[in-house]
Chain A
């Protein structure tokens, strides 16, 4: 088929297309016409293979007693021994518990504060003020945890801003970063502070897309503030809340590696050490490659399952699809 003919064929199909998908063509004719589309996928395919699929091969470290000198081939195959070692470890339960409780705390508090802040912003009728406050509050989201963590270490120090404020109020000083009972809350609250503004963006967008007619009609019918909130506003953002809750399910094992790596110190390992920091410190830095890989693999597999579950739920409950 020469170019003219293919163009004519294209015209014909374009004219007579109810559904092009069902049309059967040989791969050769498609290739001749659209080979460039395959070429365009080459960079992504290469990167995908090198950095997403090739590392899967490295998972086999989890099933051997890895010896960095001899390499993977020279290491002894041990089956599931690494996994049973992990289950027998003293810290196993605590790092798993820390991971889940910190992650869940962040998800719940993050959602609640984002919704409340969006509702508050929505009550603000003076638009420039609303916009300014939203933009200011979203700023910390775009800073790295190195910067935020550095600032936190400063303001949460014994003579830092927060303790100065507590002292001024006549309250005792708090060791935010050095007390095992307080530390998880420091993590949860500092993350919540960093994210509530940006988190509210999506809810405010949902709120502003509620038709003003509804509010006017309700006001005419004599509905007060409370009634309007209850019967218009809340139902209006409920789908977004449901969607975000579903999606957050995929993050129950993501307690926030960057943040915790920056703020963690040996004093609070007991309540602050999570799977990721343990894999990094003991596995990669400490040289327990096989244990680290096995633990990382457990997290990846469970996390992947949770993400799939969250997408499935989001599709069922909120009609959300990624593609």
Chain B
């Protein structure tokens, strides 16, 4: 490491740090910009003075969205969806992964089941046949449509299968000697030592549930049943906000602005992700690599 002393190397190092910092910060600036708009006064926004720092700080945009009954309702639907959806998913996931992971026990049909599972993960009939089935099953407009179809996450199940495979068979066999059933082994032997994979799958599952919005707008004809992300889509993205302002339901003299309200919506909807993110980031590698551990 002798040649690292010269100035060219130092310059290269400095340039690398600067470039990495620039790229990293570029991921935050759009969020900061949106945050600044949501907290800035109408005058500052109209004058085009707002970039990354709020000017004329106020919280009226946030007061405004909190005051919308649909906002409160859709937020609670989203919370319920995450809690119920993730619990269901984890339950189905471990129940499925256990028999499929114990390859060394005889189980006729196991390979066939895995093949169907893989097929189910890779092939879909498309949006319209799926919609028709949801309709035939009577799930349209029901909360269940947000959690039941997603209860089987095949990709997550494969991750858990591969993790379970790494558990020494002697552990399970020792429990079997003591007369433990398969359910006992799963819940008393496997699960207590599977926290990393369960945390990974649970957190990723929670993010997926919180972020899902298309199922809301397609399967819930009544907007009363929309989760938060669908509501944000319907309000902010498709532009009903502009119409509301046109109709005068938002006062023109207050500090409430379209850009501000939009920003408040978008940032509020990302809060849960930011809250779980410190936990989530620990499992990036686990989530990426667990699925590929083989044998």
Contacts and interface: CB of A to CB of B under 8 A. Distances in A.
Interface in B137-168: 137, 148-149, 151-152, 157-158, 161-162
The 3 closest A-B pairs by CB, nearest first: A58-B129, A296-B126, A52-B120
Contacts of A123: 13, 16
B207 interface: yes
Interface string B235-249: 011000000000000
B161 A146 contact: no
Interface in B253-281: 259, 262-263, 265-266, 269-270, 273, 277, 280-281
Binding site secondary structure of chain A: helix
Binding site secondary structure of chain B: helix
A37 B107 contact: yes
A159 B123 contact: no
Interface string B97-119: 01110111111100001101111
Interface stretch (B25-33, B53-61, B79-87, B193-201): B25-33
A88 interface: no
Interface in A269-291: 276, 279-280, 283-284, 289
B100 to A, nearest CB: 8
Contacts, number: 268
Contact of B96 (A40, A59, A144, A279): A40
A262 B105 contact: no
Nearest to B52: A161
Contacts of B213: 144, 146, 258
B127 A280 contact: yes
B155 to A, nearest CB: 9
B99 A41 contact: yes
Nearest to B96: A44
Given A41-B99, A150-B237, A142 B113 contact: no
Interface in B57-98: 91-92, 95-96, 98
A217 interface: no
Interface in A183-229: 193, 196-198, 201-202, 205, 219, 224-225
